[in-house]
Chains A and B, each alone.
Chain A
Amino acid sequence: MSVYRISRNIESSIIEFIQSELSSAGWTNITVEKTFSRIYGIPVETFQKQAAICVRLEDTQHQQAEIGETSTNRFPLVLIDIFATSDGQRLDLKDFLVQIFKKGLPYFEYQTSGNTITSRVQNGRIRVTKMDDVPVSFGVDKSSLEVHDRYRHLLTLETSLGRVEG
């Protein structure tokens, strides 16, 4: 039995939140992953019917909470890549994600056994303090791109757990 640390908890909480919200809203053809290689590994024929979202927790800044204290505030940067199958789907999907992130999301602490999550407990919320969304352009004609790269969008989320770490 082992437990995820904060960064993996955040990443997994976001993936679980997106999957749950997509399901509630009736999206049935989206897969959510946490590595590019898994998304690029989806065969083209399958990918053309099924879009994908990649969630990655990147840099985290730890800022001293108060002068003279060792406690810190954590500000993780989360990058969410949308790999859509058309321009319309790309726009719909990014607007959907922007909307659901506005209110923040539950932060879960996960327990695992081997590669399986055995339990999770909510311990606060992840706040999204800043959000940017940009289309991913490679500066070339889309038809010349590999199918996974044609209709991509990138959301950048600055997040916080809203609490001080000792």
Chain B
Amino acid sequence: MPLKIKFFGSEGFKEINEFIEKHEKSIRASLKSLGDKTAEEMKNIIANSKVRPQAGEPTDLEDNINVEHFPDKGWGVGDINQLNEKAKYWRAVNFGSKHLVGTETHGHFEPGDPQPNPEEFRKGRLKKGFYKIRIQNEIPAMNYIQKTVNFLRRQLLNLKFGERQ
């Protein structure tokens, strides 16, 4: 993602260079901390978008979204290889998918009524069990990646340095 710096005033190149040199440390620190904030934001978006009871449930997707800092190059959030290995469903959750619709499995719901029951929609989570269950609804698109990129862009626009903050 490109970083554009806007200067307000009548500075020439010499003054702009001096400004960047003077503020380099704080600019780098702000951008670095933005990496951590972005990873946190992505985790929050995922956690807040979940619609079924989560108490005591594993959080593999959030747990495997980390920020990686590269000296002098910047940072990245979410290692695709790691996600492919430990939270394989990350793409389906982000983009939404119909791939499970129509498939049958054996399970039960908890908490609440263990049998599939439309009146208890989203009140329980599917666990391995003995009821034959046919999946009818698609995975809704969470778009946590697009929402996080949007968050990051707004944060970058709001970064200000120097006297005219």
Q: Which residues of A contact B (CB under 8 A)?
A: 36-37, 40, 56, 58-59, 61, 63, 75, 77, 79, 81, 130, 132, 136-139, 145-146, 148-149, 152, 154, 156, 158
Contacts and interface: CB of A to CB of B under 8 A. Distances in A.
Contact of B96 (A36, A59, A139, A156): A36
Interface residues of B, number: 22
Given A36-B138, A36-B140, A146-B101, A138 B95 contact: yes
Q: Sort A-B residue pairs by CB-CB distance and give the 5 closest, nearest first.
A: A146-B98, A136-B95, A77-B150, A156-B146, A40-B98
A79 B149 CA distance: 13
Given A61-B154, A156-B149, A137 B98 contact: no
B20 to A, nearest CB: 25
A59 B147 contact: yes
B92 A138 contact: yes
Contacts of A145: 97, 99
Contacts of B151: 59
19 contacts: A36-B140, A58-B143, A58-B147, A59-B147, A59-B150, A79-B143, A130-B153, A132-B149, A138-B92, A138-B97, A139-B84, A145-B99, A146-B98, A146-B99, A146-B101, A152-B95, A154-B95, A154-B146, A158-B150
B141 interface: yes
A63 B154 contact: yes
Nearest to A138: B91
A161 B119 CA distance: 41
